[in-house]
Amino acid sequence: MAPHTEQLTRPAVQLRSLTRSFEDRTVLDGIDLDIPAGQFVALLGHSGSGKSTLLRAIAGLDHNVAGSGHLTAPERVSVVFQDSRLLPWRRVLDNVLLGTDGQDKGRAALAEVGLKGRERAWPSELSGGEAQRAALARSLVREPELLLADEPFGALDALTRIRMHGLLRQLWQRHQPSVLLVTHDVDEAIVLADRVLVLDSGRIGVDLTIDRPHPRSYRDPLLGEYREQLLAALGVVEDPA
Amino acid sequence: MSTSASTSTSTTTSTTTTATTTATAPLDTEARDTPRSRRRGLSPGRRLPATRLIGPALLLALWAAASAAGQLDPGAIPAPWTVVRTAGHLWSAGTLPTDILTSLERAAYGFAIGLTAGVVLALASGLSRVGEALIDGTVNLNRAIPTLGLIPLFILWLGIGEAFKIAIIAIVVYIPIYLNTHAALSGIDSRFVELAEVQGLSRLQFVRKIVVPGALPGFFVGLRLGVTGSWLGLVVLEQINATSGLGYMMFQAQNYGQSDVILVGLLVYGVFGLISDSVVRLIERRVLSWRRTLSS
Ligand SMILES: Nc1ncnc2c1ncn2[C@@H]1O[C@H](COP(=O)(O)OP(=O)(O)OP(=O)(O)O)[C@@H](O)[C@H]1O
Ligand SMILES: [Mg+2]
């Protein structure tokens, strides 16, 4: 595994020869992975490469999936899904507090994601970006040690997505959970993460530490190298024109 | 690639928004006239107050007009005012209040039992596989048998008193409540089940915060069918071996050729049916205020 500054602490996530398969298709084929506490990791891979399968395994959501291997994950894990998954019959604040209590904590979390004053709104009254922010607030109230996010910004428009990147990074800095962010978007991965993994044929094909200060700009030329490396790993050949 | 796609989506959205804003700006008449400024809505539009009464009122007016014009045989269909007068007589004689009360009592008991049974059975079969195996097939078997066909059997079992009437009404009521509630329970989105696991909900919390609220819309559909069913069952039941009640009153009137009394009975049934349905709708709108549907 790539060396990292927080080597002394026990890794938050530890996978040893993790295997998952559907029928006879092996989707995860012996994955070894350590994620140190507090690290921000992005996971790239082709559609169908098993990113969601890996994330669901770590979240403990894959009850009926065949597999083997060893997996350690922290006690408090939060998941942000691609859809905001707010319960339409609970007001925003009650959604944020689903599974916990403490009105004040919920209000504070909503304020943090810029939804102060929308506590009593119904989810159907929120825009897509607002709903996703509420989902982020819901995952933060639980003060997770590990935040798993499966393409959380996939359904948002480009502008909102950029704003969400800033927000996620801020929240990460304040709360310091380990983050595993699944994404399709190479740029999103490079701008946000300290470390980018590429899942390929059921294994971690590339493990890249991105050593650039934050906040990063999409136009940072030094990020271009990382981008090319990752695109090559994903088999995307850029048009030479 | 995906970026450019979503950019174009956001552009479309903002264009629409701008168009709508200009269209509603009070001074900008030009923008209001542009044909592309607003899409034709597909929802039926804003709800008008008391619109549900327009249909019945029109029907009543037609009836009154036809009677006044002498187009209706007063022996078969008496005029509205004759019916009202008869109702007044029956009321002051004390038989109508007694009959109404008896009928209401039967409907209420049967309905309460049916409601409880429907909900309990739906929960039991929706929340556990064992419950489903035991209950769902049985209820569907029960549904396949015409409930009114059970009357002779129930009279043999429960005697000819109140018990069999209440039992039949309870059956008429519990079936739609069970079916709709059970369908709604089993239709709970599996994504919400996943969410509950992620948020660490206990089984009880899961039922209270996700399953029950999620199944409420279906429950209300069943409830409305059940309410109507309880009145329908009553009409039939009270014509069999009853000594009081609205159905009995109408049955007697048939023997004496009093069509006005029959109409009084039908009117009372109709009014109560309408009222109880409105009450259920009102509760439904209150409880399901989070829904943004066509009807809101
Ligand atoms: N419940 C399931 N039953 C059968 N096959 C499944 C199931 N879930 C996933 N798969 C298969 O496992 C493979 C990996 O799926 P997964 O959802 O992990 O991909 P992914 O990398 O998240 O893709 P995407 O980027 O499109 O979300 C796919 O080929 C998929 O068809
Ligand atoms: Mg996926």
Question: pLDDT tens-digit profile of B127-137?
Answer: 888 999 999 99
B109: confidence class by pLDDT, cuts 50, 70, 90? very high
Q: Tell which residue, B65, B62, B177, has the closest CA to residue B115.
A: B177
Question: Is the pLDDT score of B114 beyond 90?
Answer: yes
Strand order in the sheet with A40-45: A77-80, A146-150, A178-182, A40-45, A195-200, A203-209
* pLDDT at residue B15, rounded to an integer: 36
A52: confidence class by pLDDT, cuts 50, 70, 90? very high
Can you give the length of chain B in residues? 296
> Residue B98 and residue A197: Cα distance in Å, rounded?
80
- The answer to whether residue B213 neighbours chain A at the CB level (below 8 Å) is yes
Most confident of A94-98, A168-172, A232-236, B34-38: A94-98
B6: confidence class by pLDDT, cuts 50, 70, 90? very low
Give residue B229 CA to ligand 1 midpoint distance, Å: 47
Least confident residue range of A47-61, A104-118, A222-236, B99-113: A222-236
User: With contact defined as beta carbons under 8 Å apart, do A198 and A46 qualify?
Assistant: no
> Residue B197 and residue B211: Cα distance in Å, rounded?
13
* pLDDT at residue B295, rounded to an integer: 57
Arithmetic mean of pLDDT over chain B: 83
B247 exposed, middle or buried (CB, 10 Å; 0-12, 13-18, 19+)?
A: buried
| B227 vs A163, more confident | B227
Q: Is residue B22 part of a domain?
A: no
Q: Is residue B72 part of a domain?
A: no
* pLDDT at residue A1, rounded to an integer: 42
Q: Is residue B16 part of a domain?
A: no
Residue written as tokens 């004689």?
B93
- Average pLDDT value for residue range B111-140: 94
B234: confidence class by pLDDT, cuts 50, 70, 90? confident
A3: confidence class by pLDDT, cuts 50, 70, 90? very low
Q: Residue B244 CB: number of other CB atoms within 10 A?
A: 16
> Residue A53 and residue B198: Cα distance in Å, rounded?
15
- Average pLDDT value for residue range A202-212: 89
Q: Tell which residue, B172, B156, B142, has the closest CA to residue B237.
A: B172
- Average pLDDT value for residue range A125-153: 92
- Average pLDDT value for residue range B218-238: 90
Which token pair is A181? 């962010």
Q: Is residue B49 part of a domain?
A: no
* pLDDT at residue B206, rounded to an integer: 93
Range of the domain at B166: 78-287
Arithmetic mean of pLDDT over chain A: 88
- List the residue whose alpha carbon is closest to atom 16 of ligand 1: A50
Mutate to test the pocket of ligand 1, among A18, A20, A22 (most ligand atoms within 8 A of CB): A22
Mutate to test the pocket of ligand 1, among A19, A29, A51 (most ligand atoms within 8 A of CB): A51
- List the residue whose alpha carbon is closest to atom 17 of ligand 1: A52
Least confident residue range of A23-37, A108-122, A226-240, B145-159: A226-240
Which token pair is B203? 């089984």
Residue written as tokens 């629409």?
B16
**Beta-bridge partners for A233:** none
Q: What is the CATH number of the domain that holds B207?
A: 1.10.3720.10
Residue written as tokens 């969400």?
A164
- The answer to whether residue B216 neighbours chain A at the CB level (below 8 Å) is yes
Question: Is the pLDDT score of B27 beyond 60?
Answer: no
- Average pLDDT value for residue range A223-239: 81
Find out whether the beta carbon of A64 lies less than 6 Å from any atom of ligand 1.
Answer: no
- % of residues, chain B, pLDDT over 70: 85
* pLDDT at residue B162, rounded to an integer: 87
- The answer to whether residue A142 neighbours chain B at the CB level (below 8 Å) is yes
Give residue A172 CA to ligand 2 midpoint distance, Å: 22
**Could you tell me the pTM of the whole model?**
0.78
Q: Is residue B143 part of a domain?
A: yes
> DSSP string of B279-291?
HHHHHHHHHTTT-
* pLDDT at residue B31, rounded to an integer: 46
Ligand 1 atom nearest residue A53's Cα? 18
Q: Is residue B54 part of a domain?
A: no
Residue written as tokens 């429907």?
B118
B273: confidence class by pLDDT, cuts 50, 70, 90? confident
3-state helix/strand/coil string of chain A: CCCCCCCCCCCCEEEEEEEEEECCEEEEEEEEEEECCCCEEEEEECCCCCHHHHHHHHHCCCCCCEEEEEEECCCCEEEECCCCCCCCCCCHHHHHCCCCCCHHHHHHHHHHCCCCCCCCCCHHHCCHHHHHHHHHHHHHHCCCCEEEEECCCCCCCHHHHHHHHHHHHHHHHHHCCEEEEECCCHHHHHHHCCEEEEEECCEEEEEEECCCCCCCCCCCHHHHHHHHHHHHHCCCCCCCC
Instruction: Give the CA count within 13 Å in the CB-facing half-sphere of B272.
Output: 22
* pLDDT at residue A9, rounded to an integer: 59
A229: confidence class by pLDDT, cuts 50, 70, 90? confident
Mutation target among A44, A86, A87, A150 for the B interface, most CBs of B within 10 A: A87
* pLDDT at residue A237, rounded to an integer: 67
Mutation target among A98, A151, A186 for the B interface, most CBs of B within 10 A: A98
Ligand 1 atom nearest residue A23's Cα? 4
Q: Into how many domains does chain B fold?
A: 1
* pLDDT at residue B23, rounded to an integer: 39
Find out whether the beta carbon of A201 lies less than 6 Å from any atom of ligand 1.
Answer: no
ipTM for the complex shown = 0.86
- Do A158 and B7 lie within an 8 Å CB cutoff? yes
> Residue B195 and residue B198: Cα distance in Å, rounded?
5
- The answer to whether residue B45 neighbours chain A at the CB level (below 8 Å) is no
Ligand 1 atom nearest residue A199's Cα? 21
User: With contact defined as beta carbons under 8 Å apart, do A50 and A28 qualify?
Assistant: yes
Question: Is the pLDDT score of B44 beyond 90?
Answer: no
Least confident residue range of A72-76, B13-17, B64-68, B254-258: B13-17
Residues of A in contact with B15 (CB under 8 A): none
Question: Is the pLDDT score of B36 beyond 70?
Answer: no
